[in-house]
Structure 1
Amino acid sequence: MFVSCKNDINKVNALTGEAPPPETEINGFSMVRADSGFVAMRMTAGKVILEPDPKDRSMTNRKASQGVEIIMFKLGTDSISAKLNSDRAIEHASNGLSEALGNVIVVNGQNDSIMTERLIWDRKKHIFYTDEFARIVREGDVLLPKKGFEADENFRWYNLFNSKGEISIEDSLSRVEPRDEDTLSRPAGMEKEDNIRSTRREDISAQQRQPQQLPKPRRPLSPHEVMYADTLKKGEERGSWQQEISRPDTNFIQPK
């Protein structure tokens, strides 16, 4: 099925007053859109179902499935500006929106790639956008907009949306090199200090591994030892006792 900018089936149906059949199924679907006499887009799909638009039954929606491929061309040339693949797609005739659904992968002319689960094409504004999580690979950098993005039809620029705001990426953007304050460097002498700390940790660990000898428990004092110690203490206080260290049961030394 070939459709050009001058032969829109929806416009023909509106002029003739003829409504399309309730549902038409096409296998091996192919469609071409032209702009100023040049091919602007080519679409292929394994199967397409044509059905009236619920908002305007004189217009026809297209539901594509079994693998969808859309190729965008640079105006007036045969060069591919972007290529889109998805599991299925829906073209809404009344609002000018088309949706690519399921395993959506887009590759532009600069080999930037986009992966998401839902991508909307606004044919009136000539932009693509989504509010779903996406993964964008650009010049080796991986961008993960949590709340989607928007891009032109050729995917030459992007606006990324996430919880922290919006980031615009232009064609002239180069890879951002890390700043000095972003680079973590080790102060001079840190390696030597680390070696000293490591040696200390090893010494402590070795000491902890050695068996520790516990002190022998002391036996309780006998009543004689208690009395003897008390007598010595009193003699020291008066300064009139002769003191002698002896074993238990030692006789008292009488004062002179």
Structure 2
Amino acid sequence: MLRKNFNWIIIGLGLCVIACSNDLDKVNTISAKIAEKPVERSKNVDLIFSDSAKVKAELKTPEYLQYKVQNPYDEMPKGLKIDFFSPDLLIESTLTAKYGIRRYNEQNIEVRDSVVVVNKNGKRLTTEQLIWDQPKHMIFSDKFVKITSPDGTVQQGYGMEANEDLSNIRIKKFSGELYYKEGSETP
């Protein structure tokens, strides 16, 4: 009888250990989800980026979510607009997108979904994903990009890097044809 009860005790302890490990997995999963909740939610945010007390850019977004995790980041799920300024505070170019994420440790902002950059001369870059490297004042993409100039010149390809005002663009891998209006200078 004691031996029979002992067997049931062993089986019961085994089930408890299995149940506890499953519960710990659930607790860890729930804890991770809670940690990924924003700690602050702001509406109609206007951020100014400066370097050596000089305004370099201004970001506007209707919703700004801040996450204080191991690698903190901010999310802009309802889109954003960034104006890049010249030293005399004139808008050099404007970037818009439907989604953005700002990573503090990498000092960059990644934008996705209907990304458009237009400079003061009317040059227009479109892509689905782009990264703005804040310290380098450069924008990068590994996705398909299309660049249209006011004279009708169209360049397209995969991957590019450019300065914020689009005055110097390098497409990594050209794709398709190069278009330009009749009578304009050939590129």
Match of 1:34 in 2: 50
- The residue identity in structure 1 corresponding to 2:84 is M
Quote the Cα distance in structure 1 between the aligned partners of 2:39 and 2:185: 50
In structure 1, the gaps of 5 or more residues are 1-20, 165-173, 178-256
Match of 1:135 in 2: 146
Quote the Cα distance in structure 1 between the aligned partners of 2:167 and 2:76: 26
- Runs ≥4 residues deviating over 3 A: none
Quote the Cα distance in structure 2 between the aligned partners of 1:134 and 1:39: 28
Task: For residue 79 of structure 2, give the secondary structure of its aligned residue in structure 1.
Answer: strand
Shift in CA distance, 175/64, structure 1 to aligned 2, threshold 3 Å: same
Match of 1:212 in 2: none
Which of 1 and 2 has higher RCO (CA within 8 Å, sep 6+)? 2
8 Å CA contact 2:49–2:55 kept in 1: the answer is: yes
In structure 2, the gaps of 5 or more residues are 1-36, 176-183
The CA deviation at 1:175 is 2.8
Quote the Cα distance in structure 1 between the aligned partners of 2:41 and 2:95: 23
Quote the Cα distance in structure 2 between the aligned partners of 1:107 and 1:53: 34
The number of aligned residues is: 142
Match of 1:232 in 2: none
Match of 1:123 in 2: 134
* TM, length-normalised to structure 1: 0.52
Q: CA RMSD in A?
A: 2.0
Alignment of 1:168-187 (within 5 A): 175-176=185-186
Deviates more, 1:106-115 or 1:34-43: 34-43
Quote the Cα distance in structure 2 between the aligned partners of 1:163 and 1:73: 29
- The residue identity in structure 2 corresponding to 1:72 is F
The CA deviation at 1:134 is 1.0
- The residue identity in structure 2 corresponding to 1:156 is S
Find out whether 1:97 has 2:99 as its counterpart: no
Task: For residue 66 of structure 1, give the secondary structure of its aligned residue in structure 2.
Answer: coil
The CA deviation at 1:105 is 0.6
Find out whether 1:86 has 2:97 as its counterpart: yes
Quote the Cα distance in structure 1 between the aligned partners of 2:45 and 2:95: 16
Match of 1:47 in 2: 63
The CA deviation at 1:68 is 0.6
- The residue identity in structure 2 corresponding to 1:36 is S
8 Å CA contact 1:149–1:160 kept in 2: the answer is: yes
Match of 1:108 in 2: 119
Identity %: 23
Q: Which one of the candidate residues 70, 82, 104 is aligned to 1:70? A: 82
8 Å CA contact 1:50–1:61 kept in 2: the answer is: yes
8 Å CA contact 1:53–1:92 kept in 2: the answer is: no
* Bigger Rg, structure 1 or 2: 1
Alignment of 1:198-217 (within 5 A): none
The CA deviation at 1:84 is 0.6
